[in-house]
Structure 1
Amino acid sequence: MKKLLLSLAIIASVFTGCSSSDDEVITGPATGEISGTITANQTYAYGNYTLKGIVKIASGVTLTFDAGSTITCDKATGDNALVVLNGGKLVINGTSSSPVVFTEKSAIPGSWGGIIMYGNAPIKGAGGLTSILSEDGNSLFYGGDNPTHNGGSLNYVRVEYAGAKLADGQKENNGFTFYSCGSGTTLDHLVSYKGADDGYEFFGGTVSMTNAVSYGNYDDAFDWQDGWQGQNNANWYGYQEVKGNFGMEIEACSNNNAYWPKVTNVTLKRAANCVPEVAGAIEIDAFQFKKQGNGDFSNVIIDGYGTYTEGATTYTAVAVKIQDASTNTDQVNGSKIKMTNVKINGSTPQTGTGSGSFTTTFPTGQYTTSAVSTGASLTTGNWSKVGNTNLIQ
């Protein structure tokens, strides 16, 4: 009897296991449309989604995307962007082999607004203002007193063909735009690909970014203002082709700050025949400092910044341009711009000036060179490839 009961138990367990397996249905990637304001926590499983309109994540709400997902918008439907409002969180769980990709149907630079995140970390705008109206078309105030603001975690994310001017057609957007975001926010392994404005722009705040690629963006590879002061930035790679302005445009809204951002391991490359975004605006240098912009940069490679001819005039790019006399006096002479272990591949002059008649000479130890600098150190994978193109040249 015991043997019979044992045999029946085994048979029952086998059929139970088979039944569970047989009931499992594999449906493939999920699909759906994302629109409007997200007012409750939402997780989008691996899938192919459509983003329609200016999608906003409300305060107190977390929106999550699983690895491998693709989110596509269509400029033919109107303005599109993904906006994280102050207090909201965006969590993107991409991986090296399965990044999360935000793209646009036409594959034309400037076709949507990209990812825009708001926080309440400190800023210092023009005139010392601590709260300013955004320039992205959303017309929202940013700035606050919370340096550890947490807007979520963006890991292995690629934004393609962004940089649209939303609303009135005058406001700027980038691949990634961060308004007063704080140090509690994670930005790691990001790619901004072929946008019509900057790859990344920081408007104040304390957030840092690691392992970032800016590829083929029409304006600057990296840009900031309003007293951005991220301290733990590393492995930034910028590659400019076809159109492109400065590798980095650095300003502080004419505030002579006693703080500055720090970035280690930087590579800025410019392809041959890359021209400025707009004729007449000779913005072709690797680093440009203006309006009291400053920063600490180490282990830097500058490659391909050469000459540009417009009409009968040929302009020569420099590695570091100091645009105005006040920045030269307060930031360079005041030892608030520091560039160490800089390697220039080619004949690009080390420094140059913009408007005004002044000479830039860095204090001892504030600008040093090295023949063995390595620049950005990035491990390639699906996250850093578009089609068959490896974005890390």
Structure 2
Amino acid sequence: MIEKYRQQFNASFTEEKYNQLLEKLGEGFPVIPFRVAETPIFIPQALKEKLIAAGEEIISLIKQDNFKELTQNAIPQQWNVPNETSHPHFLTFDYGLCKDEKGEITPMLIEMQGFPSLYGFQSHLANTYKEVFNLDDKLSPYFNGLDENSYFELFKKVVVGDYAPHEVALMDVDAPNQKTAIDFFITAKHLGIKILALEDISKEGNQLFYEENGLKIQLKRIYNRLIFDEIAENTDIFKNSFDPREELDTEWITHPNWFYRISKYTMPFLKSEFVPETRFLNTVEIIPTDLENYVLKPLFSFAGMGVIIDVTETDIKQITDPENWILQRKVVYEPLIQAPDAGVKAEIRMMYLWPEGEEPQLCINLGRLSRGKMIGVRYNADFDWVGGSIGLMEAF
């Protein structure tokens, strides 16, 4: 969207360079099973300022004294984990790129999470785009004056804290084989921490341990990448390891309850020009007559599963648990990213780190390009110039 960079990029783009990008991204790492887009997003200053402003409005709600009270019903009873922290350590806000009534580019909030994203991979992706496509040195994916070194210093401060790196581990069910494993390995490389699958961890009393070279090491902090929604039907996996819902002498970064507190559940409480009208379905007394302008979303789902785009009155009446759904005015994505053949829609995820005892800091971003009906890999399988990307901005 910064026209000079878009023109330069498209004029010099070749499939050979794109293949070089993919090859270089994967060097020394596991195979990347998700699609990486052909291009970064060039974010102009005006849009950057709106993205920052939108995030500040959301954070002001999260920092309200009554936020936990507002979101007390967000956490499913079966997934309520003890010893919740006073605030999350990660915030991610997803915005669709649209045009307002003045024809200006504006972000509209789509989704939000108090959960980590690809904090390691996105830096690697930005570096690789810049190197392979010989992009201008002043283009940066970072905010708040950060560069690669200061960004990873902050990231390590949040995740490792005052512990020794070997006392901290990134944990997921089968971490080395997850779709986002490349992010795990990049993170471990920069932070010096372990990558552990759930079954690599054992419990003695209320303490957790893992083994390395025949030694038993106490795990004092978990960088949590386990999403409970993904294993809801398979809680037997805890039998060979530990149950996160028990009282444990281990810290969570970030605590699992924040995944639910900061989520679609939060959106009805937000009133902003950057947030589409959103209501809990059980509070909708009169069904709108223009349902074609709405989308119906389950509160407890992951990666777009269960979302009803073309909503009908029958869909609404068939829902037996309306307190677990939201009705949201549709966001109309504008095809703003110029591919060689047509415009492509885009979403930008703003990614924050929140150190203990400090303020949340906007650090880096993630982009996703789409030609399909929805953003996401499964909806764009047959297209090019779609997939994971990153926003680059001029560092003044």
| Structure 1 or 2: more strand by fraction | 1
Question: Which category describes the TM-score, using the shorter chain as reference length?
Answer: under 0.3
Choose between structure 1 and 2 for higher RCO, CA contacts under 8 A separated by at least 6 residues: 2
Taking structure 2 as the reference length, the TM-score comes to: 0.21
**Structure 1 length-normalised TM:** 0.21
Q: Which has the larger radius of gyration?
A: 1
